[in-house]
A = this chain, B = another copy of it.
């Protein structure tokens, strides 16, 4: 589908140049389409951003599938895979920042691993699963952000390696401990 081609190019652009690089014509070039294509599918810039965000949501639909025998391990592997999918994750952060002043994006980005985390916290016997779930989510987000754009991006182990997964697993284990 033409539309997916366009939104994929948009995601790559945002990852490489930031939201500022997201212009109709730049997307045309990136996607190798004739000038005007993006503008035809997404007449306004707002529509283009919404398209991008919806595409992100689709691509991330795959839930974290929890191997209940190795919860920390499966979470760690998921985080590592997000680090490997650098572009997508960077674009998501840009979109989240954008959602700060465009509330309509927030629903699409909801992304809700939140209930999953709450359920997990309950299963692990945390006192206050609501709160613990939020903390776990925050921690996971933090690990990801820290390793992708924060201080850990220069010093941490290379994403995609076993070392990376093991490092993440240590951290996740700590976060899950009641």
Q: CB within 8 Å of B: which residues of A?
A: 16-20, 90, 93-94, 96-101, 106, 110-112, 114, 131, 134-135, 137-143, 145-147, 149-152, 154-156, 167, 170-171, 174-175, 177
Contacts and interface: CB of A to CB of B under 8 A. Distances in A.
B101 A149 contact: no
A141 B135 contact: no
6 contacts: A20-B20, A100-B149, A135-B170, A140-B142, A141-B142, A174-B175
A91 to B, nearest CB: 10
A142 to B, nearest CB: 2
A106 B153 CA distance: 11
A135 B174 contact: yes
A49 to B, nearest CB: 10
B149 A134 contact: no
A19 B21 CA distance: 10
B141 A146 contact: yes
A147 B141 CA distance: 11
A146 B175 CA distance: 15
Contacts of A94: 97
Contacts of A114: 151
A139 B26 CA distance: 36
A45 to B, nearest CB: 9
Closest 6 CB pairs of A and B: A142-B142, A138-B146, A138-B142, A135-B171, A138-B143, A141-B142
Contacts of A141: 142, 145-146, 150
A51 B106 CA distance: 31
Contacts of A110: 151
Given A139-B175, A146-B142, A18 B101 contact: yes
Contacts of A152: 134, 137-138
